[in-house]
Copies of this chain bind each other. A is one copy, B any other.
Amino acid sequence: MARQLYDLCGIDDRLRFSPYCWRVKLALAHKGLDYETRPWHFTDKDAIGFSEQGKVPVFVDGEHTVVDSYEIFRYLDRAYPDNPLLGEGEAESRARFFKFYAERSLAPGMMRTIVMDLFNAVHPKDRDYFRETREKAMGRTLEEVHAPSTGLTLLDKALEPLRGRLSEAEFLDGDAPAGADYLIFGHFMWARTVSTADLVSNADPVYAWMERMLGLHGGLGRSATRIVDIEGAYGS
């Protein structure tokens, strides 16, 4: 049985925007593993009931079902040890920090910038669910969260360590990309697929890294369907 990844989709089945699913797709490409994606919507809880939780990514590899992007990275390193994503020992311990940096330093500024784009990208049947869960988590309405100028300022500050590191190396993991790069880049794919906002100036070392990341694995990121590729996506 082919490997399967349940992958969040939006207003169109081709629009795949979950940062956590992007991590996994990049990781699978890094390992050179084939898989099929199963397009999934936020409210398709029954379809992943077998995973005993309600979120994607859900990765199925034969008898193994693995959830949570970081746990999937761990699983892939155990099951397919070539080309480590995280590695072991201190390499793995340090990789965990990048996960939190993406989710807690980068995501908030991105969210304030793209939240209404994101809402527009969500499948209509998921919008009530999306609004309700996100407003509860953030403690304010989506419209209140929406503040692109504030968001870009937050993001600019949050990018500082990334900028420093990428001034001295091609990738966070050195001469070639690995787990840390994918853990961060997932969030850039999230923003890229749903929004046309320019998050990073093209003179920024982070921009050059984004370009390198978009080109990896046969242009996996660059060729991803974006909201602008979908006819009628803007409320026609």
Contacts and interface: CB of A to CB of B under 8 A. Distances in A.
Interface string A68-102: 00000000000000001001011101111111110
A200 interface: no
B161 A100 contact: yes
Given A89-B87, A105-B161, A160-B104, A97 B96 contact: no
A95 B90 CA distance: 9
B87 A168 contact: no
Given A84-B90, A90-B180, A105 B160 contact: yes
Contacts of A180: 90, 93-94, 97
Contact of A95 (B94, B158, B160): B94
The number of chain A residues touching the other chain, given as a range, is 20 to 34
A164 interface: yes
Contacts of A152: none
A162 B162 CA distance: 15
A89 B94 CA distance: 12
B93 A90 contact: no
Centre residue among A90, A178, A179 by max chain B CB count within 10 A: A90
29 contacts: A84-B90, A87-B91, A89-B174, A90-B91, A90-B95, A90-B173, A90-B180, A91-B91, A93-B169, A93-B174, A93-B180, A94-B172, A94-B173, A96-B165, A96-B168, A96-B169, A97-B97, A97-B101, A97-B161, A97-B165, A97-B172, A100-B160, A100-B162, A100-B164, A100-B165, A103-B161, A104-B160, A105-B161, A157-B157
Given A90-B91, A93-B173, A96-B168, 9 more contacts: A93-B180, A94-B95, A97-B161, A100-B163, A100-B164, A101-B161, A103-B161, A103-B164, A104-B164
